[in-house]
């Protein structure tokens, strides 16, 4: 997946670099969708950036119920991980995903009532969980290499079937989500 993506990126760069932009420009202009920042093809996605980010205060950290660190290297040495990957919290509690370096965010995948949340890249983010159930989430640029997490709110496993297997999961993300949810 990484190889294929990088290959596509390289080809794209070469193509544009060869002054072929005017040829493909009409095709680009005709695209009906907006290109989001994280979908722009660039080689930075899988480059580890160690520039530290300290965008939350000790007081802000103290005010939340759980802190999940967004890491370039996880506790067991895997690249791009949340720590912890599983959070079990009561209804009404708040999680802070703490940025430690650039490159990461949080985007919900399967949630109760299809609740949506997507944070900005490179920044810490908080969310208060007022609806019980299972929430699966990803780092938008790093889902394919397994940067995923699970939140179980209020011990409610009623959306387990949907959360366990979903079309949005693939690669290491699917394997890791099913490993976490298989413990319940
Ligand atoms: Cu990430």
- The predicted pLDDT at position 46 comes to 62
Does a structural domain hold residue 67? yes
Q: Phi and psi of 43, rounded to 5°?
A: -80, 0
- The predicted pLDDT at position 50 comes to 83
Question: Is pLDDT larger for residue 155 or for residue 77?
Answer: 155
Does a structural domain hold residue 84? yes
Q: Are residues 112 and 158 in the same domain?
A: yes
Residue in the structure block whose two tokens are 């919290």 = 89
pLDDT in tens, 74-126: 998 888 999 999 999 999 999 999 999 999 999 999 999 999 999 999 999 99
How many angstroms is it from 24 CA to the middle of ligand 1?
31
Does a structural domain hold residue 106? yes
Number of domains in the chain: 2
How many angstroms is it from 141 CA to the middle of ligand 1?
6
Determine the average pLDDT of the residues in 159-175: 94
Q: Are residues 136 and 99 in the same domain?
A: yes
Identify whether the C-beta of residue 81 lies closer than 8 Å to the C-beta of residue 103.
no
How many angstroms is it from 80 CA to the middle of ligand 1?
6
Does a structural domain hold residue 167? yes
Q: Which domain covers residue 18, as residue numbers?
A: 2-32
Q: Which residues contact 97 (CB under 8 A, 6 or more apart)?
A: 67, 68, 69, 70, 82, 106, 119, 124, 125, 126
Q: How confident is the model at residue 171 (pLDDT cuts 50, 70, 90)?
A: confident
Listed residues: CB within 5 A of ion ligand 1:
80, 104, 139, 142, 147
| Strand-pair partners of 82 | 70
How many angstroms is it from 4 CA to the middle of ligand 1?
18
pLDDT in tens, 15-69: 333 344 444 444 444 444 343 444 333 444 566 788 889 999 999 999 999 999 9
Omega before residue 84 within 30° of 0, cis:
yes
CATH of residue 135's domain is 2.60.40.420
- Cα 102 to chain centroid, rounded: 13
Does a structural domain hold residue 48? no
- The predicted pLDDT at position 71 comes to 95
In this structure, the strands spanning 66-73 and 79-83 are antiparallel
Q: Are residues 24 and 64 in the same domain?
A: no
Global pTM reads 0.76
Kind and range of the H or E run holding 94:
strand 94-99
Q: Are residues 92 and 7 in the same domain?
A: no
Does a structural domain hold residue 134? yes
How many angstroms is it from 144 CA to the middle of ligand 1?
10
How many angstroms is it from 20 CA to the middle of ligand 1?
32
Q: What is the largest CA-CA distance in the chain?
A: 57
């Amino acid at each position: 997946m990484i190889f294929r993506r990088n290959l596509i990126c390289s080809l794209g760069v070469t193509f544009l670099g060869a002054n072929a932009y005017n040829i493909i420009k009409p095709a680009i202009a005709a695209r009906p969708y907006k290109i989001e920042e994280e979908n722009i093809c660039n080689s930075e996605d899988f480059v580890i950036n160690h520039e530290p980010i300290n965008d939350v205060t000790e007081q802000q950290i103290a005010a939340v119920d759980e802190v999940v660190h967004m890491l370039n290297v996880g506790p067991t040495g895997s690249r791009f991980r949340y720590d912890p990957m599983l959070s079990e919290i009561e209804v009404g509690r708040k999680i802070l995903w703490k940025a430690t370096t650039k490159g990461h965010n949080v985007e919900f995948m399967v949630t109760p009532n299809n609740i949506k949340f997507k944070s900005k890249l490179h920044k810490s983010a908080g969310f208060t969980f007022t609806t019980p159930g299972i929430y699966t989430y990803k780092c938008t640029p790093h889902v394919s290499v397994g940067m995923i997490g699970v939140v179980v709110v209020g011990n409610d496993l009623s959306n387990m079937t949907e959360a366990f297997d979903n079309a949005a999961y693939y690669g290491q993300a699917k394997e890791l989500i099913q490993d976490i949810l298989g413990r319940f």
